[in-house]
């Protein structure tokens, strides 16, 4: 029984070490995977709208480039530090390896609360941050993408800032950009779509059907809202959702299309104030306790603790968020026979379509949306089948199977390249 681990990096290391042990790896072969390759902390002075200067802290961590350029999102939140950025960068490394695309892993963040910043302030923060991490990023080095509280517009500012320094347009420096400047069709919603593809893959193997399934979702942002919509369109009943502002419930299932329209028009971009017949409100912390068939964390890391794992009333958890489940919770969920589809597999859709965007950028090509979606489905299915095979052959849970697949691939790449010098 592992000790209670609340440190997200320790949590990730526990999974890494366990997978390495199961794979029978030599410590020398995987030791360097316990450390990020590079960590940068920057101070970002910005002239605010009131003409005073404020200084924000930014991070960029490149965890591994063994399998290709580093790749990972950029997050704006007051709730970040170097530790969480390191963890998320490691998870990106494993995620790229699980879906077997030629990227390493990275993550970035700026400690700020975007809900208290004007658009112009956000733009200045983004541009200065980009300038400060400029030596580290680029299409061959490290390619940021949207994450919590960042979007295509922010990616556009990064692309422009980088391009101004270079003196020519470099669309491949970021993914998740607006279409007009080299974004790809199908990127928005790709993570949610990938989650639904994987649930459809696993369903027949575990005797589960999405039609009529009761679902609760934590987080109603870029990922949570789209997957809610796709699941509802497939016949699931989304009975409860919550975001930072609170939760809403309807026994017969929420009208997700209507809710998305409401959130998009709500200045706070939250579900706060949503009214519809039969809909009741609840405190967001209660999202875990509804009796459902499928629970989807789609908000942030470290949400499913041991005490929550004891009370969760679901058959399946699909981890759309990165790192939502703590190690000690994993053990409890396993003993309760709750199936956990791990983040590094199920939430890889955005990463895969980011890869397509990068490929289109460096080849100056533009793919159809159907091409993007078909190839996404194929890559997600391949990854699912590979994880499922390890799960069956090695008799390990799906998280361990995904980690084993990923670590094996990264270690092989490292061994082929050797330790420099
Ligand atoms: N954007 C992507 O392509 C992508 C890809 C893979 C994984 N992820 C992960 O998915 C998660 C969500 O990312 P996103 O891009 O949708 O971000 P987002 O900023 O668009 O949405 C985040 C949502 O979570 C809600 N939230 C935040 N704190 C909460 C709390 N304490 N309780 C309940 N709800 C809370 C917010 O209100 C919002 O609805 C993150 O863990 C992110 O790392 C995102």
Ligand 1 center to residue 124 CA distance, Å?
A: 23
Q: Return the residue whose CA atom lies nearest to atom 3 of ligand 1.
A: 350
Count of alpha carbons within 13 Å of 231, Cβ hemisphere only?
Answer: 35
**What does residue 212 show for φ and ψ, rounded to 5 degrees?**
80, -5
320 lines ligand 1 (CB under 6 A): yes
Alpha carbon dihedral 360, 110, 104, 333, in 10-degree steps, equals -110
- Residues 76-82 have a mean pLDDT of 97
Is residue 386 one of the residues assigned to a domain?
no
354 lines ligand 1 (CB under 6 A): no
User: Mind listing the pLDDT tens digit for each residue in 174-204?
Assistant: 999 999 999 999 998 999 999 999 999 999 9
Name the residue of 105, 106, 147 to mutate for ligand 1: max ligand atoms within 8 A of Cβ. Answer: 147
Mind telling me the catalytic residues?
Answer: 107
Domain that holds residue 221: 190-345
User: Mind listing the pLDDT tens digit for each residue in 283-315?
Assistant: 999 999 999 999 999 999 999 999 999 999 999
Nearest-angstrom CA–CA distance, 362 and 355: 11
Nearest-angstrom CA–CA distance, 148 and 132: 21
Q: From the alpha carbon of 243, which atom of ligand 1 is closest?
A: 34
Boundary-marking domain end, from 291, 324, 345? 345
Please tell me whether residues 80 and 197 are part of one structural domain: no
| 4, pLDDT greater than 80 | no
Q: What is the pTM of this model?
A: 0.97
Is residue 395 one of the residues assigned to a domain?
no
Please tell me whether residues 328 and 197 are part of one structural domain: yes
Q: Count up the domains in the chain and report the number.
A: 2
Which among 354, 349, 38, 350 has a CA at the least distance from the CA of 171?
A: 354
Write the CATH number for 170: 3.40.50.10860
How much of the chain exceeds pLDDT 70, in percent? 99
Please tell me whether residues 261 and 168 are part of one structural domain: no
Is residue 300 one of the residues assigned to a domain?
yes
Separation of first and last alpha carbons in the chain: 40
Is residue 183 one of the residues assigned to a domain?
no
| 370, pLDDT greater than 90 | yes
Cα-Cα-Cα-Cα dihedral sign, residues 175, 181, 182, 185 = positive
107 lines ligand 1 (CB under 6 A): no
218 lines ligand 1 (CB under 6 A): yes
Ligand 1 center to residue 291 CA distance, Å?
A: 23
Tokens 């391009």 -> residue: 163
Q: Which residues lie across from 142 on neighbouring strands?
A: 70, 138
Which residues lie closer than 8 Å to 210 by C-beta, 6 or more apart? 199, 200, 203, 231, 234, 235, 236, 294
Q: Return the residue whose CA atom lies nearest to atom 4 of ligand 1.
A: 147
Please tell me whether residues 151 and 250 are part of one structural domain: no
- Residues 85-95 have a mean pLDDT of 98
Please tell me whether residues 223 and 339 are part of one structural domain: yes
Give me the pLDDT at residue 334, please.
97
- Residues 362-390 have a mean pLDDT of 97
Q: Return the residue whose CA atom lies nearest to atom 32 of ligand 1.
A: 244
Q: Return the residue whose CA atom lies nearest to atom 12 of ligand 1.
A: 299
Q: Residue 142 class from Cβ within 10 Å (0-12 exposed, 13-18 middle, 19+ buried)? A: buried
Boundary-marking domain end, from 175, 207, 229? 175
Write the CATH number for 281: 3.40.50.720
Please indicate if the annotation marks 71 as binding a ligand. yes
- Residues 82-92 have a mean pLDDT of 98
Please tell me whether residues 75 and 44 are part of one structural domain: yes
Tokens 């017969």 -> residue: 252
Please tell me whether residues 157 and 251 are part of one structural domain: no
Name the residue of 77, 113, 223 to mutate for ligand 1: max ligand atoms within 8 A of Cβ. Answer: 223
Ligand 1 center to residue 363 CA distance, Å?
A: 31
Q: What value of ipTM does the predicted structure carry? A: 0.99
Ligand 1 center to residue 24 CA distance, Å?
A: 35
Is residue 144 one of the residues assigned to a domain?
yes
Please tell me whether residues 197 and 299 are part of one structural domain: yes
Q: Return the residue whose CA atom lies nearest to atom 13 of ligand 1.
A: 148
Give me the pLDDT at residue 6, please.
73
Is residue 243 one of the residues assigned to a domain?
yes
316 lines ligand 1 (CB under 6 A): no
- Residues 396-405 have a mean pLDDT of 98
Q: Return the residue whose CA atom lies nearest to atom 19 of ligand 1.
A: 148
Length of the chain: 421
Q: From the alpha carbon of 190, which atom of ligand 1 is closest?
A: 3
| 348, pLDDT greater than 50 | yes
Ligand 1 center to residue 76 CA distance, Å?
A: 11
| 1, pLDDT greater than 50 | no
b/e 271-290 (16+ beta carbons within 10 angstroms → b): beebeeeebebeebeebbbb
Is residue 21 one of the residues assigned to a domain?
no
191 lines ligand 1 (CB under 6 A): yes
Q: Return the residue whose CA atom lies nearest to atom 30 of ligand 1.
A: 244
User: Mind listing the pLDDT tens digit for each residue in 14-66?
Assistant: 999 999 999 999 999 999 999 999 999 999 999 999 999 999 999 999 999 99
Please tell me whether residues 124 and 199 are part of one structural domain: no
Q: Using 50, 70 and 90 to split pLDDT, how confident is the model at 353?
A: very high
Ligand 1 center to residue 85 CA distance, Å?
A: 15
Boundary-marking domain end, from 175, 199, 225? 175
Mean pLDDT score across all residues of the chain: 97
Is residue 257 one of the residues assigned to a domain?
yes
Please tell me whether residues 148 and 43 are part of one structural domain: yes
| 5, pLDDT greater than 70 | no
Please tell me whether residues 247 and 123 are part of one structural domain: no
User: Mind listing the pLDDT tens digit for each residue in 135-179?
Assistant: 999 999 999 999 999 999 999 999 999 999 999 999 999 999 999
Nearest-angstrom CA–CA distance, 82 and 41: 8
Please indicate if the annotation marks 95 as binding a ligand. yes
Please tell me whether residues 325 and 201 are part of one structural domain: yes
User: Mind listing the pLDDT tens digit for each residue in 221-242?
Assistant: 999 999 999 999 999 999 999 9
Q: From the alpha carbon of 220, which atom of ligand 1 is closest?
A: 39
152 lines ligand 1 (CB under 6 A): no
């Amino acid at each position: 029984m592992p000790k209670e681990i609340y440190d997200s990096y320790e949590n990730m290391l526990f999974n890494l070490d366990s997978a390495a042990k199961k794979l029978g790896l030599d410590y020398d072969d995987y030791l360097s995977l316990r450390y990020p390759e590079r960590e940068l902390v920057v101070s970002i002075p910005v002239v605010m709208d009131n003409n005073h200067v404020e200084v924000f802290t930014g991070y960029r961590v490149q965890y591994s480039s063994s399998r290709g350029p580093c790749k990972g999102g950029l997050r704006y939140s007051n709730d970040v530090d170097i530790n969480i950025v390191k963890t998320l960068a490691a998870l990106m490394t494993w995620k790229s390896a699980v879906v077997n695309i030629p990227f390493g892993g990275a993550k970035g963040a700026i400690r700020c609360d975007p809900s208290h910043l004007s658009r112009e302030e956000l733009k200045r923060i983004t541009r200065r941050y980009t300038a400060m991490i400029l030596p580290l990023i680029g299409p061959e080095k490290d390619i940021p993408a949207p994450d919590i509280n960042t979007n295509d517009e922010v990616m556009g500012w990064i692309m422009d800032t980088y391009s101004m320094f270079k003196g020519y347009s470099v669309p491949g420096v970021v993914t998740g950009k607006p279409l007009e400047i080299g974004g790809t069709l199908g990127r928005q919603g790709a993570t949610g779509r990938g989650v639904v593809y994987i649930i459809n893959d696993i369903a027949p193997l575990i005797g589960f059907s999405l039609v009529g399934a009761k679902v609760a979702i934590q987080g109603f942002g870029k990922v949570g809202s789209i997957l809610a919509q796709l699941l509802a369109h497939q016949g699931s009943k989304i009975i409860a959702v919550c975001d930072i502002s609170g939760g809403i419930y309807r026994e017969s299932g929420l009208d997700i299309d209507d809710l998305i329209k409401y959130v998009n028009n709500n200045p706070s971009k939250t579900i706060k104030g949503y009214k519809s017949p039969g809909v009741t409100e609840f405190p967001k912390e209660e999202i875990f306790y509804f009796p459902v068939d499928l629970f989807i964390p789609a908000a942030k890391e470290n949400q499913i603790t041991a005490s929550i794992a004891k009370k969760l009333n679901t058959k399946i958890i699909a981890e759309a968020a990165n790192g939502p489940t703590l190690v000690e919770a994993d053990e409890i969920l396993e003993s309760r026979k709750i199936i956990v589809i791990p983040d590094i597999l199920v939430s890889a859709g955005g990463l895969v379509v980011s890869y397509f965007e990068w490929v289109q950028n460096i080849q100056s090509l533009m793919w159809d949306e159907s091409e993007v979606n078909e190839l996404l489905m194929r890559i997600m299915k391949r990854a699912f089948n590979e994880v499922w095979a390890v799960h069956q052959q090695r008799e390990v849970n799906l998280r361990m199977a995904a980690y084993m697949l990923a670590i094996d691939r990264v270690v092989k790449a490292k061994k082929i390249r050797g330790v420099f010098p």
